[in-house]
């Protein structure tokens, strides 16, 4: 007789139908979609999307509702205190608690406090929040929390989920030799990927897009500065999709745009659902994001799986891309990016199609979904 599947109680600031937080939502949604038949997922999250002041429309709050392969409780602000988190933990009595993030008061700190000293398996996924670029944002507050948490031994009995070797090293740097399991993120499958068949690369033109919040660690200003160095004979269209996280930084980026040459057009499109992003990607020549660092880079992987090659920094897990005919990963030097962009802009359709006809196939071979699935089963079953 088969035993019932393990119940995993997953805490995250945001979940579906949200999309404005990007990676954190995607990571959880893909996890549930791929492993929801093997585990009983219960997700606890906020009742509103990233940076939103109003709750989702037509979503029941403070009760369990079925969403895809999970049951989800969308907490209203009045239910986001320590008492409510303790009540949920007691009522669910899960086999394992999975904390998606490091610094959320409601969805990381309160569960850790409530579980302190309890004999329950806890997995913490930092989701890139310990990376230098991320720690540099509100660094005093984050460092103070980590020191206090270490003193109080809040993380003393948890297992950390790192999505790559670099993140594993960052965990060790902050917490010492603690239990760590390295399992990469599970990618989603972009919608309408077949639209890529309609794409045509024009010689002397370059259609670029990126998906990233408008924040310093995403290096949008650097991307825009690279476009100053584009050959005047090449027409560039660059669409930036993402929420404005930092208004001062957004203003800085807009000032750079005002200084760009007339052959370069830049559009800020704000946030949008994945299906709309995929339609934009299907018409693009390259995904362009010289990021200051990525723990995983869901948007990069989704570009691959839509068949779009990328031009990114070498500060992500996705390296040696030129050898795999997936694009370029470059050190952060304006001249290096401009040189590649100028070469790519000069490419004609036939040359482009020959070079990048197998992006989706090559990316799928690199990702290996079966291996990832087994990695997560081991993470949760140990």
Question: For position 168, what pLDDT does the model report?
Answer: 94
Mean pLDDT calculated for residue range 250-279: 93
Mean pLDDT, rounded, for 280-288:
95
What's the 3-state SS for the chain? CCCCCCEEEEECCCCCCCCCCCHHHHHHHHHHHHHCCCCEEEEEEECCCCCCCCCCCCCCECCEEEECCEEEEEECHHHCCHHHHHHHHHHHCCCEEEEECCCCHHHHHHHHHHHCCCCCEEEEECCCCCCHHHHCCCHHHHHHHHHHHHHHCCCCCCEEEECCHHHHHHHHHHHCCCCEEECCCCCCCCCCHHHHHHCCCCCCEEEEEEECCECHHHCHHHHHHHHCCCCCCCEEEEEEECCECCHHHHHHHHHHHHCCCCCEEEEEEECCCHHHHHHHHHHCCEEEECCCCCCCCHHHHHHHHHCCCEEEECCCCCCCCCCCCCEEEECCCHHHHHHHHHHHHHCCHHHHHHHHCCHHHHHHHHHCHHHHHHHHHHHHHC
Question: At residue 77, does pLDDT exceed 50?
Answer: yes
What is the rounded average pLDDT of the residues 279-293?
Answer: 94
Q: What's the rounded Cα separation, in Å, for the pair 269 and 330?
A: 26
Residues 6+ apart with CB under 8 A from 303: 281, 287, 309, 310
Burial class (CB in 10 A: 0-12, 13-18, 19+), 160: buried
**pLDDT, mean of residues 266-292:** 92
* pLDDT tens column, 350-376: 999 999 999 988 988 888 778 888 899
Under the banding of pLDDT at 50, 70 and 90, the label for residue 66 is very high
Task: Check pLDDT > 80 for residue 188.
Answer: no
Q: What is the pLDDT of residues 19-46, one digit of tens each?
A: 888 778 888 998 998 899 999 999 999 9
pLDDT band for 190, please (50, 70, 90 cuts).
low
Flag whether pLDDT at 195 surpasses 70.
no
Please determine, for residue 260, whether its predicted confidence score (pLDDT) is greater than 90: yes
pLDDT-derived band at 1, boundaries 50, 70, 90: very low
Residue 312 has, within 13 A of its CA and on its CB side, a CA count of: 31
Chain centroid to CA 26: 6
Residues 161 and 130: beta-carbon distance below 8 Å: no
Expressed in angstroms, the distance from the first to the final Cα of the chain is 21
- The per-residue pLDDT for 151 is 83
Confidence at 76, pLDDT banded by 50, 70, 90: very high
Lowest mean pLDDT among 82-86, 116-120, 252-256: 116-120
Domain 7-182 has CATH 3.40.50.2000: yes
Domain limits of the chain? 7-182, 193-366
Quick one: what percent of the chain has pLDDT higher than 70?
A: 97
Model confidence over 95-146: pLDDT tens digits? Answer: 999 999 999 999 999 999 999 878 789 999 998 888 888 888 888 999 998 8
Residues 6+ apart with CB under 8 A from 263: 230, 232, 233, 234, 235, 236
pTM: 0.72
Backbone angles phi, psi at 264, to 5 degrees: -115, 125
pLDDT reading at 78 higher than 90 = yes
Whole-number average pLDDT of the chain: 91
Domain at 193-366, CATH from 3.40.50.2000, 3.40.1280.10, 3.30.479.10, 3.30.460.20: 3.40.50.2000
pLDDT beyond 60 at 341? yes
């Amino acid at each position: 007789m088969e035993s019932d599947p393990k119940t995993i109680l997953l805490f995250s600031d945001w979940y579906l139908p949200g999309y404005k937080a990007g990676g954190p939502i995607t990571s959880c949604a893909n996890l549930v979609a791929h492993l929801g038949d093997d585990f009983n997922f219960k997700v606890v999250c906020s009742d509103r999307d990233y940076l939103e002041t109003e709750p989702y429309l037509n979503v029941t709050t403070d009760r369990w509702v079925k969403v895809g392969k999970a049951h989800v409780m969308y907490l209203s602000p009045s239910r986001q205190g320590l008492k409510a988190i303790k009540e949920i933990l007691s009522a669910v009595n899960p086999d394992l608690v999975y904390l998606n993030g490091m610094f959320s008061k409601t969805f990381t700190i309160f569960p850790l406090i409530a579980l302190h000293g309890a004999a329950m398996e806890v997995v913490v996924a930092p989701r890139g929040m310990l990376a230098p670029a991320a720690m540099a944002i509100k660094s005093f507050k984050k460092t103070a929390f980590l020191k206090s948490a270490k003193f109080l031994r809040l993380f003393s009995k948890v297992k950390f989920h790192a999505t790559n070797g670099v993140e594993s090293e960052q965990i060790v740097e902050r917490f010492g030799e603690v239990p760590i399991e390295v399992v990469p993120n599970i990618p989603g499958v972009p919608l309408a990927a077949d639209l890529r068949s309609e794409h045509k690369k024009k010689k002397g033109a370059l259609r670029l897009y990126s998906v990233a919040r408008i924040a310093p660690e995403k290096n949008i200003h650097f991307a825009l500065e690279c476009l100053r160095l584009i050959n005047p004979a090449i027409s560039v269209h660059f669409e930036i999709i993402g929420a404005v996280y930092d208004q001062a930084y957004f203003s800085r980026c807009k000032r750079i745009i005002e200084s760009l040459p007339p052959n370069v057009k830049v559009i800020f499109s704000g946030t949008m659902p994945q299906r709309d992003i995929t339609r934009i990607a299907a018409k693009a020549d390259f995904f362009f994001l010289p990021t200051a660092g990525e723990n995983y880079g869901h948007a990069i992987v989704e570009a691959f799986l839509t068949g779009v090659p990328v031009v990114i920094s070498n500060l992500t897990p996705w390296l040696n891309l030129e050898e795999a005919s997936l694009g370029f990963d470059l050190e952060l030097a304006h001249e290096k990016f401009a040189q590649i962009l100028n070469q790519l802009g000069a490419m004609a359709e036939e040359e482009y199609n020959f070079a990048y006809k197998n992006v989706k196939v090559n990316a799928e071979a690199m990702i290996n979904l079966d291996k990832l699935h087994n990695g997560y089963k081991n993470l949760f079953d140990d």
